[in-house]
Structure 1
Amino acid sequence: MVSASSLEDRVKAEDPDRALCAQFLPRGMREDVFILLAFHNEVTRALAPARSSAVVGPMAGYVRLQWWRDVLEGTRPPEHEIAPLMLGALERGVFQYSTVLGILDARETELAPEQDVTHWSGMMLKGSGGLQRAVGEALAVQDPTLLDRLSACGAAYGAGAMLRHWPVLQKSGRYIFPGSPEGLQNVAKTWLEQSDNTQSVPRPYQVAFLPAVLARRDVGRGIQSAGMARGVMDRLAVMAAGLKA
């Protein structure tokens, strides 16, 4: 079984933004959140084109995602180094099954894209949004309104990342926003407003909203930052907010 330290190092390499935000979580739940992030990276990797000529196109992605669904539902052995760790976290009630299965739903939606903003928004709220909602669940957030705000926070971060990588994503075949970058900015701004309304966030839960720091910066810059590496000022902004929280 993969060690906690090697898993954390892997997530830092593959998803440095979310890994940085996770560093400010209480130590007792940090390991579970890194398991969640590693799981998210695996199911996202399932969308990559099949290397085998026997299974090609979207069907290859469906097969891989169904494998994970079967594992989580207990109908298939967890024959992947991340799978037993993720199952353990679910069995301990760290994350809700419905939230994690929603992340799988989002990735399946990406395999059957529709040029419709509502369809795309639903995918983002379950995918990137669901990931942040699960972080809130690890922090024992139970207020449905607060969990919805975390979903909006995660979706806003995902939209901001889409703006930063817009030219690359356009060529990748991934399901990107069905409209202009300006339209994507507007949707992301709405999600930021939903995640950061006048209702205060209890102090123990503020660290779950750290991705909104990066979202605000990415969305504010819009397409102008496309293709640029993540700047040190972005990371310092997260660190300052994390220390304050």
Structure 2
Amino acid sequence: CMAKMRILLVFAACLSSGKGLGLRTHLNRQRTVLVSPRFAPQQPSSLSTSSSTSTSAGSQLLTKEQGKDALKYCENLVRRHENEQFLCAMLAPEGTYAVLITLRAFNIETASVRESTTNQTTGQIRLQWWRDALDRLYAGDETQDLLKQPVVAMLHILLRRYRLPKELFLDVISARERDLETTEAPQSITQLIDYSEKTQGSLLDLALHTLIVHDHDYTAAFEAARHCGRCIGLSTLLRATPFVAYRGLTYLPNDLLMDVGENVGTLLQALQDKKLTPPLKAVIHEVAKTALNELESASSLLKKCPRDVNKIMLPVLPHKHYLQTLNEYDYEICHPKVIEPSGFAPLSLRLHLRWAAWRGL
């Protein structure tokens, strides 16, 4: 009853705001922030001053239409592969929609390397291409052969406005490279946490850098981003577990499996048969509990942060619901209700996200 009342209140708030549930007006306004014609704000100090040289060598800044096309590509990519993230970006703080969409598109491009390549060498070449692209962007390279890749074009636009630490992008790529180099299960849950922080945590950290205002203390916000990133990463790996099992892979750590007297072989067979034993459920429970502990730590920190910071952290909400659903179904990770994309119907997810954006996580 209380849940229904909460949804009705959010629905009323949506209507009273004049925006309705489609968010179309808000979204169209957000889309135009970074893609104005020949956008050239003051260049961050993290970029090389050699950009004027590359421009004079025959390159030009992106036109308005090129910027729109690049953003549209990123939108379609995120909507197709991470629709929950797309819905979260629609409720982002004013001016950050394109930032979040671009960061998620970068994540998809690098995360998909392992699944879309047939051998490790090809995957390493593709990830090295992204390293080289970032090096060129941070060096001020604006040549058309680089910017014809839509995600790179959007990163180029972001880097001309925001001071985004290069090492955070490189952390994501390094984590993907380590993931590419092995088909074995992680050795420990600590390894899983580190991977989650280097990928999802780094992306949230980058998003937060677009909110930084001089003389404001964002210590709690960045700490919350690390905790949210760990939660999202661990939850994502759990959600992927039933699917990667058919390729002979698992993300459940070896140390937890050995603690309950199981091994990777029995785990993979149980996942393929969709018959988990109590010891295997205990392993899943331990990973889920760790993720929820990270979320709890983040929530306490976010209470000290401005509302815009909470909006940046909205992507953790569907993962919170997934972990709660997993608990509700006794850690049956292959249960149809558990492996649904988010456990939310599209309208329900939008309402929950709007409620969290207004009330906080």
Is the partner of 2:288 in helix, strand or coil? helix
Q: Tell me: CA distance 1:106–1:35, structure 2 relative to 1, closer, same or farther (3 Å).
A: same
Contact 2:237-2:251 within 8 A present in 1 as well: yes
Q: TM-score, normalised by structure 1?
A: 0.85
What is aligned with 1:109? 178
Unaligned runs of 5+ in 2: 1-65, 257-282, 327-332
Residues 173 and 104 of structure 1: is their aligned pair in 2 closer, same or farther, counting only changes over 3 Å? farther
Alignment match, 1:215: 319
Structure 2 partner of 1:158: 233
Q: Aligned equivalents of 2:100 and 2:164: distance in 1?
A: 9
2:352 to 228, 237, 240: 237
Mapped partners of 1:235, 1:177: distance in 2: 31
Closer/same/farther in 2, CA of residues 28 and 168 from structure 1, 3 Å limit: same
Query: Which residue type is aligned with residue 236 of structure 1?
Result: L
Residue in structure 2 matched with residue 58 of structure 1 by the alignment? 120
Q: Deviations over 1:18-59 (max 9, x none)?
A: 111111113322112211111111111222242xxxxx4222
Q: Would the aligned equivalents of 1:103 and 1:126 in 2 still touch at CA under 8 Å?
A: yes
Structure 2 CA distance for aligned equivalents of residues 81 and 3 of structure 1? 4
Which structure's CA Rg is the greater one? 2
Match of 1:202 in 2: 306
Q: 2:84 aligns with which of 7, 12, 17?
A: 17
**Does the 8 A contact of 1:133 with 1:148 survive in 2?**
no
User: Residues of 1 paired with 2:291 and 2:341: CA distance?
Assistant: 20
Does residue 1:190 correspond to 2:293, yes or no? yes
Q: How does 1:62-81 map to 2 (within 5 A)?
A: 62-74=124-136, 78=146, 80-81=149-150
Distance 1:36 1:173, change over 3 A: farther
Does 2:340 match 1:228?
yes
> Match of 1:53?
none
8 Å CA contact retained: 2:99, 2:207? no
Aligned to 2:200: 128
Q: How far 1:184 sits from its partner (Å)?
A: 1.3
Provide the C-alpha distance between the structure 2 equivalents of 1:91 and 1:175, rounded to a whole number of angstroms: 40
CA contact (8 A) 1:24 1:207 kept: yes
8 Å contact 1:71–1:83 — kept in the other structure?
yes
Q: Paired residues, what number?
A: 240
Aligned residue among 165, 169, 173 for 1:96: 165
1:124 alignment partner, SS class:
helix
8 Å CA contact 1:33, 1:138 repeated in 2: no
- Which 5+ residue runs of structure 1 have no aligned equivalent? 51-55
Q: Which moved more, 1:20-29 or 1:163-172?
A: 163-172
Q: 1:95 to 1:110 in 2, by over 3 A?
A: same
The structural deviation recorded for 1:151 is: 2.0
Tell whether the 8 Å contact from 1:166 to 1:226 is kept in structure 2 after alignment.
no
